[in-house]
Structure 1
Amino acid sequence: MENVFRIKELRYVPRWLVFFIDVSIVSFSILVSNLFLENLGVAINFNEYQSQKIFLTIAVNILFMLVFKTYAGIIRYSTFFDFFKIVWSSSCTMIVMLAIDFTSKLIFGIFLDLYHELFLFFFISVFLMFFFRMMVKRVFKIFMAPKEASSKIRIVVVGIEGESVSLGNAIIHNPTHPYQLKGFVNTESTSKKAILLGCKIYNKREFLKINNLSKQFDAVLLKGCMLNFEMEEWTNFALSKGLKVLKAPVINNTHEGSIIGDIRPIQIEDLLERTPIIIEKENVGNYHFDKSVLVTGGAGSIGSEIVRQVALLNASIIVVVDQAESPLHELKLELLEKFPNQRFKFILADISNVYRLEKLFEEYDFSIVYHAAAYKHVPLIEDNPHEAIFVNVAGTRNLALLSKKYIVNRFVMVSTDKAVNPTNVMGASKRTAELFVQSLQNSYGNQTKFITTRFGNVLGSNGSVIPHFRKQIAKGGPVTITHPDIIRYFMTIPEACELVLQAGTMGEGGEIYVFDMGKPIKILDLAKKMIKLSGYTPDVDIKIDFIGLRPGEKLYEELLTNHSTTVPTHHEKIMISKDPLMEFDDIEFLCKQIIRSTIKKDGFQVVKLLKVIVPEFISNNSEFEILDKIPEHEV
Structure 2
Amino acid sequence: MNFLTRLKILPRWIIATLDSLILFHCALFGYLVRFNFELALIEQYDAIAGSFTFMIGGLLVMQNTRSYEGIVRHTGFRDGSNIFKTVVINFILFLFLNFFHGNFLNDRFLLPTSVLIIASLSSLFMLIFYRLLVKELFVYLKNGILVKELKNGIIFGAGEAGIIAQEAIKRDSKILFNTVAFLDDDPKKEGKNIDGKRIYKGIGDLEKLAQQFGITELIIAVRDLSVKRKNEIIDECLRLNISVSIVPPVDQWINGGLTAGAIREVKIEDLLSREQIILDNPRIHEDLQGKVILVTGAAGSIGSELCRQISHYEPKLLILFDIAESALYDVEQEFKENHAHCQIKVVLGDVRNKKKVKEVFKAFKPQVVFHAAAYKHVPMMENYPEEAIQSNVLGTKILADIAVLAKVDKFVFVSTDKAVNPTNVMGASKRAAEMYVQALNEYLERNHKSYHTKFITTRFGNVLGSNGSVIPLFKKQIMHGGPITVTHPEITRYFMTIPEACQLVLEAGIMGEGGEIFVFDMGEPIKILDLAKKMIQLSGKKVDSDIKVVFSGLREGEKLYEELLNDFETVKITHHPKIKIAQVLPSSYHKIDGQIELFMNLVTKNSENELVSHLKVIVPEYISNSSRFGVLDRLN
**TM-score, length of structure 1 as denominator length:** 0.91
Q: Are 1:400 and 2:400 counterparts?
A: yes
Q: Are 1:622 and 2:627 counterparts?
A: yes
Q: Which amino acid aligns with 1:96?
A: L
Give the match for residue 607 of structure 2: 602
Output the CA distance in 2 between the equivalents of 1:390 and 1:503.
Answer: 26
- 1:352 deviates by 1.3
The share of aligned pairs that are identical, in percent, is 39
Moved more, 281-290 or 524-533: 281-290
Q: Over residues 422-445 of structure 1, what are the superposed CA-to-partner deviations in whole Å (9 max), with x where a residue is unaligned? A: 111111111111111111113254
Residue 61 of structure 1: which of 58, 61, 65 is its match? 58
- What aligned pairs does 1:13-162 form with structure 2 within 5 A after superposition? 22-39=19-36, 52-65=49-62, 68=65, 75-107=72-104, 110=107, 112=109, 114-139=112-137, 141-143=139-141, 145-162=143-160
- What aligned pairs does 1:576-587 form with structure 2 within 5 A after superposition? 576-587=581-592
Note the aligned Cα RMSD (angstroms). Answer: 2.9
Q: Are 1:429 and 2:426 counterparts?
A: no
Give the match for residue 512 of structure 1: 517
Output the CA distance in 1 between the equivalents of 2:526 and 2:123.
Answer: 65
Output the CA distance in 1 between the equivalents of 2:567 and 2:6.
Answer: 75
Task: Give the match's secondary structure for 1:413.
Answer: strand
Output the CA distance in 1 between the equivalents of 2:597 and 2:67.
Answer: 81
Give the match for residue 388 of structure 2: 388
Question: 5+ unaligned residues in a row in structure 1: which ranges?
Answer: 1-5
Q: Are 1:325 and 2:325 counterparts?
A: yes
Change (3 A) 1:429 1:221: same
Change (3 A) 1:411 1:50: closer
Q: Over residues 188-239 of structure 1, what are the superposed CA-to-partner deviations in whole Å (9 max), with x where a residue is unaligned? A: 4589974311333334333333353782343333335322112111111111
Give the match for residue 472 of structure 1: 477
Q: Does the CA-based 8 Å contact 1:288-1:315 persist in structure 2? A: yes
Q: Does the CA-based 8 Å contact 1:279-1:498 persist in structure 2? A: yes
Give the match for residue 457 of structure 2: 452
**TM-score, length of structure 2 as denominator length:** 0.91
- 1:510 deviates by 0.8
Q: Does the CA-based 8 Å contact 2:28-2:47 persist in structure 1? A: no
Q: Does the CA-based 8 Å contact 1:361-1:406 persist in structure 2? A: yes
Give the match for residue 590 of structure 1: 595
Change (3 A) 1:120 1:169: same
Q: Does the CA-based 8 Å contact 2:520-2:579 persist in structure 1? A: yes
- What aligned pairs does 1:167-566 form with structure 2 within 5 A after superposition? 167-189=165-187, 194-204=192-202, 205-212=204-211, 215-254=214-253, 255-443=255-443, 445-446=447-448, 447-566=452-571
Q: Which amino acid aligns with 2:474?
A: F
Moved more, 270-279 or 50-59: 50-59
Q: Over residues 381-426 of structure 1, what are the superposed CA-to-partner deviations in whole Å (9 max), with x where a residue is unaligned? A: 1122111111111111101111111111111111111111111111
Q: Which amino acid aligns with 2:122?
A: I
Output the CA distance in 1 between the equivalents of 2:497 and 2:476.
Answer: 19
- 1:450 deviates by 0.9
Change (3 A) 1:32 1:555: same
- 1:71 deviates by 5.3
Output the CA distance in 2 between the equivalents of 1:419 and 1:581.
Answer: 15
Task: Give the match's secondary structure for 2:342.
Answer: coil
Q: Which amino acid aligns with 1:110?
A: D
Residue 573 of structure 2: which of 554, 568, 575 is its match? 568
Output the CA distance in 1 between the equivalents of 2:16 and 2:179.
Answer: 32
Output the CA distance in 2 between the equivalents of 1:236 and 1:393.
Answer: 44
Output the CA distance in 1 between the equivalents of 2:6 and 2:403.
Answer: 73
Task: Give the match's secondary structure for 1:460.
Answer: coil
Q: Which amino acid aligns with 1:101?
A: N
Task: Give the match's secondary structure for 1:101.
Answer: helix
Q: Which amino acid aligns with 2:513?
A: E
Output the CA distance in 2 between the equivalents of 1:273 and 1:410.
Answer: 30
Output the CA distance in 2 between the equivalents of 1:150 and 1:480.
Answer: 39
Output the CA distance in 2 between the equivalents of 1:392 and 1:52.
Answer: 88
Output the CA distance in 1 between the equivalents of 2:293 and 2:4.
Answer: 65
- 1:13 deviates by 7.2
Moved more, 403-412 or 217-226: 217-226
Q: Over residues 45-69 of structure 1, what are the superposed CA-to-partner deviations in whole Å (9 max), with x where a residue is unaligned? A: 9999566444432432344456556
Q: Which amino acid aligns with 1:33?
A: G
Change (3 A) 1:185 1:31: same
Q: Does the CA-based 8 Å contact 2:143-2:178 persist in structure 1? A: no
